[in-house]
Amino acid sequence: MIDPEVRKQLAAYRQSIDNIDAALVHMLAERFRCTQAVGVLKATHELPPADPTREEYQIERLRRLANDANLDPDFAEKFLNFIIREVIRHHEAIAADFSGTNQHTV
């Protein structure tokens, strides 16, 4: 049998985790709205979908932020690399759509 106080603490932690997860989803959605606009701008001006200099800067910046927040910088880098890959994939799709129709909405 789990102690009722432990059960209560566990429920409180889980509620916090659920709230944080919801906030993360909304923040990621907002981030991707911004990166979609960047993708359209890049396609409009025939810029490449990837920007290695910007990506390197962002990775270094996120590693510093993670370190300051006592989060494993390697984990933060892996997480950002996943996001960067998705953004590039979206930018490539936007560029392909844009070159085919010359129109795209954000």
pLDDT in tens, 65-94: 999 999 999 999 999 999 999 999 999 999
Domains, the chain, in order of start with CATH, read: 4-101 (1.20.59.10)
Sequence-separated contacts (24+) of 8-17 with Cβ below 8 Å: none
pTM across the whole model: 0.83
Q: For position 106, what pLDDT does the model report?
A: 53
pLDDT in tens, 31-55: 999 999 999 999 999 999 999 999 9
pLDDT in tens, 50-65: 999 999 999 999 999 9
69 phi and psi angles, rounded to 5 deg: -95, 10
Q: Which residues of 62-84 are buried (b: 16+ CB within 10 A; e: fewer)?
A: bbeebeeeeeebeebbeebeebb
* Residue 100 confidence (pLDDT) above 80: no
